[in-house]
Amino acid sequence: MVQATELVFPDYTTHFDVHTDASGFQLGAVISQRGRPVAFWSKKCNDSQRKYPANQLELFSIVLVLREYRSMVLGQDVRIHTDHLNLTYSTFNNWQMMRWRSEVVEFGPTLLYVKGEENIVADALSRLSTDGAELEKDQLNEHTQHHLAAAAPTASAAVVPFRFDFRELGRVQQQDPSLNEHTVCKLSGVQLKVGPISKKIDCGAEDHAARCARSISR
């Protein structure tokens, strides 16, 4: 269960799958790649948004999740899965929906229809109680795990543990001759030592060099 719901880093060599769903009080979405989640997202609707028709609320959830993860998916191959077939069409009678659709087109996505019963994770995220009034905490956890487990890939996905040691990174950088060559600079003939690496820094004008020297001394 932990591995199935653990977020993975985006892989920009393959496409992003965006599954969205909207209920009467909350929006939900999951961004995934190769069946592994990259991001989970949900947002509670305010009173005016709850009055939107179902297809308008669904498009609203698509717009919001694209805005939220714009820096990650803009310019990438994005495939949006929705259980509202009419959202895959290019024309709308509602001007607000037309504006939202224009914003979605900026991302150049492929809109795909998915049956509601197959859109499990996004549906679960759009129906979770935000204030605990409808579900107790234990029931809420059980409800979420049930839906996420049902949507998880059946085959065991390869899990690569992320281990990052900054000390090891610093050691490798200091031993990299090409990196050291590019980091050498001059400071009005003043020799500066950073760890075992001898460097010279040139800040240009004398007054600017003095400011650099003061900042280095700190």
Q: How confident is the model at residue 157 (pLDDT cuts 50, 70, 90)?
A: very low
Report d(CA 165, CA 198) in Å as an integer.
Answer: 24
The per-residue pLDDT for 133 is: 44
Domain segments of the chain as ranges: 2-151, 176-217
Report d(CA 115, CA 83) in Å as an integer.
Answer: 5
Report d(CA 27, CA 49) in Å as an integer.
Answer: 10
Q: How confident is the model at residue 13 (pLDDT cuts 50, 70, 90)?
A: very high
Pairing of strands 110-113, 191-194: unpaired
The per-residue pLDDT for 203 is: 46
Nearest CA to 122 out of 39, 192, 205, 200 is that of 39
Q: Summarize the confidence of residues 111-139 as an average pLDDT.
A: 56
Cβ atoms of 20 and 82 within 8 Å: the answer is: yes
| Listed ranges 54-63, 90-99, 142-151; the one with the highest mean pLDDT | 54-63
Report d(CA 179, CA 177) in Å as an integer.
Answer: 5
The per-residue pLDDT for 16 is: 96
Domain 2-151, CATH homologous superfamily name and number? Ribonuclease H-like superfamily/Ribonuclease H (3.30.420.10)
The per-residue pLDDT for 169 is: 77
Q: How confident is the model at residue 54 (pLDDT cuts 50, 70, 90)?
A: confident
The residue that leads in pLDDT, 162 or 117, is 117
Entry pTM: 0.55
Report d(CA 73, CA 88) in Å as an integer.
Answer: 19
Cβ atoms of 88 and 79 within 8 Å: the answer is: no
The per-residue pLDDT for 88 is: 75
Q: Summarize the confidence of residues 66-80 as an average pLDDT.
A: 94
